[in-house]
Chains A and B, each alone.
Chain A
Amino acid sequence: MYGVVAIVLLLPFGKSFGDTTGKIIIFNAGSLTIPFAKMEKIFEGRYPKVDIIREAAGSRKCARKITDLKKPCDIMASADYTVIDQLLIPAYADWNIRFATNRLVLCYTNKSEYAKEVNAQNWYKILLKKGVVWGHSDPNLDPCGYRSVMVLQLAEKYYKIPGLYQRLIDNRPKANIRPKSVELVALLQTGNMDYSWEYRSVAVQHELKFVELPDQINLGNYKYDTFYKKAVVKVTGKKPGTFLKKKGKSCTYGITLLKNPPNTQAATAFLQYMLDPQGGLKILKEMGQPPFIPCRVPTAEMKARLPKSLRDLVEVGE
């Protein structure tokens, strides 16, 4: 009943927003699905004539849908900001805003072995103990999987303990690997596993306890990208028996408005809401994906290319 009244009261205001109507098509990385769903609900509440259509997929797949399949799209949000730089700029987009980060954390529950002792200093000693069951997702199927392995490699270099990586892997039987990292959450919650590697956002969304690791190894801070690069993981290639190497890189999210999008007006209004520290960024923060406040573009020149309404929400920064 109140809902109906509210909608009736809002209707005249809806008109005053000018052309903010119609569909907004957003391609987003899978890990953004939950926060974007919440933003959609709030934004559509403000602009009842807008209908946000989201398609979630892997970030590269999202870009391929635009470049190869030529699917119509207004906004593309990538879990790896370099995907926008590499695949969309300059032909399909002019700019790329870094708006959030994610990082690897070590999840556990009250029932996990050594749950009371584990911390950022001793986590690897605990993972080396016999009888502690820990796992990560399949590096060949899930980016979170190879990133988890990268954290272990970086730990060896950061803590300067030669052989640490191999010793850790030796204490993680193959049986502790699952296709996707989210599946490990169920193993933790049912007491079949003590520790698992997850993105921070997954840990927060599933209300798990987690150990935060130093920035140098958690793949969350792009300032350490040159150090992250030292982690190299072999994953399967295009056919069985072939492999390719993945290099460490920070989990930095990027977003862009495509050139000549189907609905410029509404899509820009959504970005204005999304990049607002009191709007979308707040939701990201609540969901465990630390946002950049304010959001960043690399150069002043790129900032000048942004729509006017977004410029105040963005700073120029490395």
Chain B
Amino acid sequence: MRREPFFWISISCGLVIMAFILLPLIEMMTAPSLSMLKETIKDKDVVRSIWLSIYTAGLAALISFVLGTPLAYLLARSSFRGKRLVESIIDLPIAIPHPVVGIAILSVAGKNYWIGQILSELGIRIMGSVTGIVTVLTFVGIPFYLNATKAGFEGISPRLENVSRSLGASMSSTFFRITFPLAWRSMLIGLIMCSARAISEFGAVVIIAYHPMIAPVMIYERFEAYGLKYSQPVAVWLVTISLLLFLILRILTSGNRKKI
């Protein structure tokens, strides 16, 4: 590939994309002054909203992990009629406009719908609650977990599992002793993708819950009420903290790469 025109085209396209992604972000990250950043992080409301963002996104990832892993395994290992349909349904939340997601969830959570009626009898409220935020974030995040994990399972040869089964291990023991140790890295990437997607969600959340405020909603509220100057520092803190978290996760897990 070296020295050929194709090589140089690839390099220049890559540079354009890097600049396209980084320039606006760098501009935004460097806009607020240090004193402004300090003042912002002393604001209890800001800290509370960033924390709420992180832990609701984390919960969404956890739910995706528990509910999504068996389905991802099923999709990776078996072929059945309607599999394509199931896969397209999984991708739907990625394609739907965000406010529509919010409205759709509200419409099943309201008293006009049987699920809403059951929830209200159980005393569970979706509107304006942390439960509602987690519901939305799971909805938008779960496709990313499913797709990454499915790809991970597909990358593991079924032969390994067959050997294990032929030696007498049960299906679940094979999964936990063979498949899981081999696939956990892609599962982790799935979890990171899922929570990254969840932490960035705004349009669907603001419809379900304005208060309690997650960080993106607070950024919007600050922008509307006070303008750019007071919304940017919150954004910088959110981006910095989530980047750090994801970085730590990656570093913690990179040591095990060789095993796969």
Interface assignment of B206: CB less than 8 Å from any CB of chain A: yes
Interface of A is mostly: loop
Cα A236 to Cα B45 with chains together (Å) = 15
| A-side contacts of B220, CB under 8 Å | 179
| B-side contacts of A239, CB under 8 Å | 226, 229-230
Q: Which of A74-117 contact B (CB under 8 A)?
A: 111
Q: Which of B187-231 contact A (CB under 8 A)?
A: 206-207, 209-212, 220-222, 224-226, 229-230
Q: Across the interface, do B103 and A186 meet the contact criterion of CB distance under 8 Å? A: yes
Interface assignment of B106: CB less than 8 Å from any CB of chain A: yes
Q: Across the interface, do B106 and A186 meet the contact criterion of CB distance under 8 Å? A: yes
In-complex Cβ contact of A191 among B43, B112, B206, B230 (8 A):
B112
| B-side contacts of A186, CB under 8 Å | 103, 106, 207
Cα A185 to Cα B226 with chains together (Å) = 26
Interface assignment of B113: CB less than 8 Å from any CB of chain A: yes
Q: Given that A177-B211, A192-B126, A192-B127 are known contacts, is A240 also in contact with B110, CB under 8 Å in the complex? A: no
Q: Across the interface, do B109 and A175 meet the contact criterion of CB distance under 8 Å? A: no
Interface assignment of B30: CB less than 8 Å from any CB of chain A: no
Interface assignment of A176: CB less than 8 Å from any CB of chain B: yes
Q: Distance (Å) between the CB of A208 and the closest chain B CB?
A: 14
| A-side contacts of B209, CB under 8 Å | 175
| A-side contacts of B106, CB under 8 Å | 186-187, 190, 192
Interface assignment of A173: CB less than 8 Å from any CB of chain B: yes
Q: Given that A174-B211, A192-B126, A240-B226 are known contacts, is A179 also in contact with B221, CB under 8 Å in the complex? A: yes
In-complex Cβ contact of A240 among B103, B127, B206, B222 (8 A):
B222
Interface centre among B43, B113, B127, B229 (most CB of A within 10 A): B127
Task: Flag A165-186 by CB within 8 Å of B: 1 or 0 each.
Answer: 0000000011111110001001
Cα A177 to Cα B207 with chains together (Å) = 10
Interface assignment of B128: CB less than 8 Å from any CB of chain A: yes
Q: Distance (Å) between the CB of A139 and the closest chain B CB?
A: 10
Closest residue on chain B to residue A109 by CB atoms: B112
Interface assignment of A193: CB less than 8 Å from any CB of chain B: yes
Q: Across the interface, do B127 and A179 meet the contact criterion of CB distance under 8 Å? A: no
Q: Across the interface, do A183 and B207 meet the contact criterion of CB distance under 8 Å? A: yes
Q: Across the interface, do B230 and A192 meet the contact criterion of CB distance under 8 Å? A: no
Q: Across the interface, do A238 and B226 meet the contact criterion of CB distance under 8 Å? A: yes
Q: Across the interface, do A175 and B43 meet the contact criterion of CB distance under 8 Å? A: no
In-complex Cβ contact of B230 among A173, A179, A187, A240 (8 A):
A240
| A-side contacts of B112, CB under 8 Å | 111, 190-191
Interface assignment of A316: CB less than 8 Å from any CB of chain B: no
| B-side contacts of A198, CB under 8 Å | none
Q: Given that A190-B109, A191-B112, A191-B116 are known contacts, is A141 also in contact with B221, CB under 8 Å in the complex? A: yes
Task: Flag A190-209 by CB within 8 Å of B: 1 or 0 each.
Answer: 11110000000000000000
Q: Distance (Å) between the CB of B118 and the closest chain A CB?
A: 13
Cα A239 to Cα B36 with chains together (Å) = 12
Q: Given that A111-B112, A187-B127, A191-B111 are known contacts, is A177 also in contact with B210, CB under 8 Å in the complex? A: yes
Interface assignment of B129: CB less than 8 Å from any CB of chain A: yes
Interface assignment of A40: CB less than 8 Å from any CB of chain B: no
Interface assignment of A140: CB less than 8 Å from any CB of chain B: yes
What are the 7 tightest A-B residue pairs by CB atom distance, in nearest-first order?
A175-B128, A191-B110, A191-B111, A191-B112, A190-B110, A174-B211, A192-B127
13 A-B contact pairs sorted by A residue (CB < 8 Å): A138-B210, A140-B221, A140-B225, A174-B211, A178-B210, A179-B206, A179-B220, A186-B106, A191-B111, A192-B106, A192-B110, A239-B226, A240-B226
Identify the A interface with B (CB < 8 A). 111, 133, 138, 140-141, 173-179, 183, 186-187, 190-193, 236, 238-240
